[in-house]
Each structure stands twice: as C-alpha cells, then as structure tokens.
Chains A and B, each alone.
Chain A
C-alpha cells in the first residue's frame, strides 16, 4: 500500500515535467525543421561556394560539439555578457539550432534524390522557382525526408532530458528534485525512464512504418 501511494505521489510532478518535455521538444522541432529546411534548400540550389562553406561550417560546428556544451554557452555564457536567456528559451533555442544542423543534410538528401528533369520540366512549362519547389520538388522530397524526420523527433524527445542541467523544469529536473526529497532514486528514475519510453517509442515506430510504407511504393 505504501508503495502504491508512493507511486501516486510521484505522478503529478513527473507528468508536469512530461508536459514541459513535450513543449521543449515541440519548440526545438519547429526551429530545427524551419532552419534545416532553409539551409538544405540554400545548400542544394546556391551557386556560391562561400555560402555552401558557411553552411557546412555551421553544420560541422553543431554536430561535433556536445549539446550540453552548446546549452552552457547559451545559458551561462551569454548571461555573462549581459544577454540573459531564460532556461526555457535557452533550451528550445539550443536544441533547435543543433537540430537544424542535423536536418540540413536530411533535407538536402531529399532534394538530391530527385532527378534534375523534375526541375527542368517545371521551368519548361513556365512555373516560377518557388512554385516548382512547393508543388513539384517538396512533395517528392518528403518521401525521403519524412522517416529521418520521425527518427529525429524520437531522438529529440530524449535529448530534452539534458536541459535539466540548465534548470528547465522537465522530467529529469522534477525527478531529481523528487529524489532529493524522498530518497527513492530507483523508483523515480525508473518511472522517468518509462515516461520517456512512452513518448519516444511511438515516434520511432511511426518513423519505421513510414519508412516501410514509402519504401514499398517505389
């Protein structure tokens, strides 16, 4: 009985944490998709070497440095020069910028999978480049892009756990607080693990289904 009432007491704060986890992940996902799409499009269609080099530098810098380091630079580093971001803003911005670097090449791979004739046919019938992108290239590129996008979302949900280190009140943050007040580390962290599983497994299963379905139609 003691055990069950203990578990019931854990429920509200950890679920509040899960709500915050979803908020951080959704915010970061929006930034990552917008940024990754923009950079992917530019990298695919630009003729300027310097622009490509700059995008590559951004991607490499973000992919070869730990997320925690980026978050500390944004949260503790910028605060020291007078630019104090809230922990939530720093968390969403940091994970979003890292995600944009990850997704740049995902979107680029999507466009690269298309034959050059697709674009030329659009031009030949008099479509503007932006209409070609919207009506011809993007719908076809999504077929290659969607499954990795789903996998990225599953990864992102797990990566939000580290924003506890800059005091954003998500699952791990609440879990740590609960442990210091109740000392039941095993149960609380196991419960947190279950919450993450419940959030991320459907996403990765969805991504795999999508992959099979889109792959089968080829």
Chain B
C-alpha cells in the first residue's frame, strides 16, 4: 500500500498542476455541451408534444436513433466523418455538439414527461388571466416542470460529465487525454488513473447527492410501501 501511495507524495503536486487545468477543460466541455443539450432537448420535447403528427414522429425518430447509437460513434461521425462532407470542426466544437446531441435525446424525454405530468388547467389558468405564452412558460410552466424533473436532469448532467471522457479519443485535452500523456511520461499509470478517477468522483458525487436530495424532497409526504 505504501509503495502505491509513495508516488503521490513525490509527484502529486506536479500531477495536480497538470490535471487541474485539464479538469477545467472537462468542466467547460460538460457545461457548454449541457447548455446546448438543454436548448436542443427543449426543442425536441416541444416537437414531441406538438399538434402535428409528422413533427411528433420526426422528434420520436430523432430520440430513438440518437439513443441507439453510442456516444463514441456520434463523436467519430462528427469529427472524422463530417470533413468528407466539407464541414471541418475543431475537436472542442465537435465534442460539444456530439455530447449535446446525445444528451438532448435523454433530456427531451425527461422534459416531455415533466410537461406531460402538469395539469392542463395550469396552462389554461395562465392564459385566462391574460398571460402571453412567453410569460406562461417563464412563470407558470417551467418552474413546476423543473421542480419535478430536477433529479433526472442532474442525472443526465452526470452522464454527460462521464461521457466527456470519450472526447479524449478525438484529441480534446481534457482529463483522460492529459492523464494518458502523464502516464506515458511517468510510467505510473495506476497512480495517475486512480487520481483521475478521484477527480471525476469529486465532481460527480456532489451532483449525485444533490440529485438524490431533490428526489427525496419531491417524495416527501408521499406514502410508499417501503415506509
């Protein structure tokens, strides 16, 4: 055990100095992809609830296809495949779009369920007191939908954070790729990848706890068989 821990005393400072900026890159990638995914996911959820059957079917196809393909394949298609069609994106942009597309399919389902759970009287009441659709969504619908869907939205964010590790394979200098480089430099892959795992855990675990906290708050007062 002490043989395993010794390198951390010797090189730990150097490693963290290299890995923390990389963790910043992971965070930047995750946050920007998540914002884009929220936009896309909201749009797809709106289409899935639209009055037109064709739009509904189109949105359903999008969700099914995206959820059936691995994130890595989506990333490779965008980064290596699109240049053949004349669209060349840098690795960060390609990653952001790829992660956002994948995440948007899951987010749209979460939002759709949340919107579906809302009684239609809420919408009618808002319109009856003279709100325009923008006001209605901002102050009546979204606050209630977010309250119900927050645990699932946070889970999607954690999945997105973990998926961002795959962007190492299309040359984004985030945690995993930086870790690969460090491990070939120091020949201590076990120590370095365990440290990287710890960094991911330090970001993801608080989010998990938060998600569970909101979930419990939501279920508070509801009687279940488990008591």
Contacts and interface: CB of A to CB of B under 8 A. Distances in A.
Interface string A161-199: 110110000001001100100001110011011001100
Given A197-B69, A201-B64, 9 more contacts: A65-B197, A73-B197, A158-B70, A161-B72, A162-B72, A185-B76, A185-B80, A193-B73, A204-B67
A113 interface: yes
Interface of B: 64-65, 67-74, 76-77, 80-85, 158, 161-166, 168-169, 176, 179-180, 183, 187-190, 193-194, 196-197, 200-201, 204-205, 208, 225-226
A5 interface: no
A115 B227 CA distance: 11
Nearest to B183: A76
B204 A65 contact: yes
A185 B70 contact: no
Interface stretch (A77-85, A121-129, A133-141): A77-85
14 contacts: A60-B208, A65-B162, A66-B161, A67-B162, A68-B166, A72-B193, A80-B187, A80-B188, A159-B70, A164-B72, A185-B76, A190-B77, A192-B76, A197-B65
A23 interface: no
B32 to A, nearest CB: 18
A113 B164 CA distance: 35
Secondary structure type dominating chain A contacts: helix
B72 A76 contact: no
Contact of A77 (B83, B169, B190): B190
Contacts of B77: 186, 189-190, 193
A112 interface: yes
Nearest to A164: B72
Contacts of A130: none
B218 to A, nearest CB: 17
A200 interface: yes
Contact of B158 (A64, A70, A190, A200): A64
B193 to A, nearest CB: 5
Nearest to A83: B190
B196 A185 contact: no
A76 B187 CA distance: 10
A61 B69 contact: no
Contact of A69 (B67, B71, B193): B193
Q: What size tier do the contact residues of chain A reach?
A: 35 or more
A70 to B, nearest CB: 7
A191 B76 CA distance: 12
How would you classify the secondary structure of chain B's contact residues: helix, strand, loop or mixed?
helix
A81 to B, nearest CB: 6
Interface of A: 60-61, 63-70, 72-73, 76-81, 112-113, 115, 154, 158-162, 164-165, 172, 175-176, 179, 184-186, 189-190, 192-193, 196-197, 200-201, 204
Given A197-B65, A204-B67, A175 B197 contact: no
A196 B80 contact: no
Contacts of A175: 76
> Which of B67, B72, B197 lies at the interface centre, i.e. has the most chain A CB atoms within 10 A of its CB?
B72
A72 B80 contact: no
A64 B201 contact: yes
Closest 9 CB pairs of A and B: A77-B190, A161-B70, A64-B204, A66-B165, A158-B70, A66-B162, A186-B81, A76-B189, A185-B80
A73 B200 CA distance: 14
Nearest to B165: A66
Contact of A186 (B70, B85, B166, B196): B85
Among A66, A69, A162, A192, find the residue whose CB has the most chain B CB atoms closer than 10 A: A66
Nearest to B207: A64
Contacts of A172: 70, 72-73, 76
A165 B67 CA distance: 21
B137 to A, nearest CB: 29
A186 B88 CA distance: 12
A189 B190 contact: no
A17 B197 CA distance: 29
